[in-house]
Amino acid sequence: MAHVRFTHLLNPFTAKPGTEHDIAQRMTFQALRNAQEESGRHGLGVEVLALVEPRDLPSVEAPARAVPAITRTIQDVHPMTPPRTFPLVADLLNAAHEHGRGDYIVFTNVDISPQPFLYRVLDDLMRRDPSRAVIVNRRTIPKVTSEPAQISLAYQHPGKSHHGHDCFVFPRAWIPQLILNDVCIGAPWWDYALLANLDALSGFRMFTYLHQRLTFHLGDDRAWTALSEYDVFNQKQVLGVIEALEQRHGKAPADSRFAWVAQRTRQQPASQRTLAIKVKRKLRALHELTVLMRARGMAKGSPFYSGTEYVPPAAPPQAVVAG
């Protein structure tokens, strides 16, 4: 059996045809096919796991292997409104640990598409420091196409850097050590729970690549505005995660990602449903701008950020067009 370097984990779901979610997922699967083929040409083993509820099996496309291992959602743990059947991050990662074979996990949102050379670059990065997790921030590009067959248009667009954490890379063997409580995907804060864990397990040396052209997202839609109950729940779960990790790993260095997450989580008040939607959007936009500017500032002074684009060891291949 060929050696698997990366197990790429994602959680697709059945989306109404023609919707933004449907378009994004189809684009992602095409990008995954191209990236897996490119890595194979360089002798790099990559598997893609689609961890889903049984009802979402029809949403899975090649090259992903469908694993119907999700048997509960946040509604089973803590019912909230409006009802959303979001999986728990811990359940997804535990299933990836059980069913995956890769040395490293690549965990992305289902609407994040990889460039063809993603895995080659990640392989080089992880060889440089095998015991440190990394985050690759995506590029946000305009909706240049809705057709996977025209994905080369998306590959070629430079896009803009985005501060969100939506591509995590770390040793699969770390998963049993993660403390994630009942944080669910699909709502704010879940990425902070994973980020805090990975930085602690990296000896507070986790690295963030801010301006890479390794992944992209079509458009800059925000679907979390009306989910403040989930927002509040996840933030409380993350606070518990931080406390548990501090008890286990001790005080984090002031310039670490963990310290940044802890400070932000403790200082930002939980969302309030009484705020008008328009006001919430403006506040979130202002907050995101503040976070982005702070991240850029930290990139200049912190040893755990890279503000320059990483160049692969060999020139990236030409964009692959769907057949």
CB 34 within 8 A of CB 320: yes
Q: What is the pTM of this model?
A: 0.86
CB 63 within 8 A of CB 18: no
For residue 34, give the nearest of 92, 113, 124 by alpha carbon.
113
Residue 88 is classified by DSSP as B
Confidence of residue 223 (pLDDT cuts 50, 70, 90): low
Confidence of residue 318 (pLDDT cuts 50, 70, 90): very low
Spatial CB neighbours of 39, under 8 Å, sequence gap ≥ 6: 6, 45, 46, 119, 120
User: Helix, strand, or coil here: 217?
Assistant: strand
Confidence of residue 111 (pLDDT cuts 50, 70, 90): very high
Report the pLDDT value the prediction gives residue 165, as an integer from 0 to 100: 86
Q: How many CA atoms lie within 13 A of 34 on its CB side?
A: 28
State mean pLDDT over 17-21.
93
pLDDT over 60 (residue 300)? no
Count of Cβ atoms closer than 10 Å to residue 118 Cβ: 31
Structure tokens at 295: 């991240």
Report the pLDDT value the prediction gives residue 316, as an integer from 0 to 100: 47
Higher confidence at residue 90 or residue 318? 90
- Cβ-count burial of 284 within 10 angstroms (0-12 exposed, 13-18 middle, 19+ buried)? middle
CB 20 within 8 A of CB 219: yes
- Could you tell me how far CA 11 lies from the centroid of its own chain? 11
State mean pLDDT over 291-310.
52
Structure tokens at 118: 């993603």
pLDDT in tens, 149-202: 999 999 999 888 877 788 999 999 999 999 999 999 999 999 999 999 999 999
Report the pLDDT value the prediction gives residue 284, as an integer from 0 to 100: 57
Main-chain dihedrals φ then ψ at residue 108, nearest 5 degrees: -130, 160
pLDDT in tens, 201-212: 999 999 988 777
d(CA 30, CA 17): 16
Report the pLDDT value the prediction gives residue 21, as an integer from 0 to 100: 93
What angle (nearest 5°) sits at the alpha carbon of residue 261, between those of residues 96 and 138? 60
Which domains can be identified in the chain, with CATH numbers? 6-306 (3.90.550)
Mean of the per-residue pLDDT values of the chain? 87
Among 24-38, 224-238, 266-280, 299-313, the range with the most confident prediction by mean pLDDT is: 24-38
SS3 of 104-170: the string is: EEEEECCCCEECCCHHHHHHHHHHHCCCCCEEECCEEECCCCCCHHHHHHHHHCCCEECCCCCEEEE
Number of helices (H) and strands (E) in the chain: give both, helices first: 9, 12
Structure tokens at 190: 């879940």
pLDDT in tens, 112-161: 999 999 999 999 999 999 999 999 988 999 999 999 999 999 999 988 88
Report the pLDDT value the prediction gives residue 162, as an integer from 0 to 100: 77
State mean pLDDT over 225-244.
92
d(CA 52, CA 67): 6
Percentage of residues of the chain with pLDDT beyond 70? 81
Confidence of residue 70 (pLDDT cuts 50, 70, 90): very high
